Amino acid sequence: MPGELVPLVLLPRFSTYAGADDFHTVAMDVTEYSSAIVNVWRGKHVSATSPTFGVTFQESTDQINWTTCSGTTANSDPGQDTEVQYTATLTKRWFRIKVTIGGTSPAPVCTCWAVGFLEQRLS
């Protein structure tokens, strides 16, 4: 029997990132939760030559050393104008999403969002 689901907005509709770089959400304390069920959508890449997009669900015990959450893979790309649901197993205290945008000049630009639920741990 699953635990109660609590709504979660990690990247509001429609968040836009520019430049080849890694972008992180603020880390959140997920001690009370066993998993994150998150839908991710991304739009069309704009500007860049050979553009890339990746989303990684990360967890940490100290907010310094981050690892990819179990049940997900690093740098997953849902595809253009596609929404994909990911389920990340939470075993550490802190949780965040890393968005990686890549490409060469001109600077890559991409719009995306990530919303879903945190599943409370069963006692």
How confident is the chain (123 residues) per 10-residue block, as mean pLDDT?
A: 90 94 97 98 88 96 98 96 97 98 90 98 85
Q: Domain containing 45: what range?
A: 5-120
Specify the number of domains making up the chain. 1
> Which CATH number characterizes residue 60's domain?
2.60.120.680
pLDDT at 1: 56
pLDDT at 47: 79
pTM check: above 0.85: yes
pLDDT at 50: 87
As beta bridge partners, residue 57 has 97
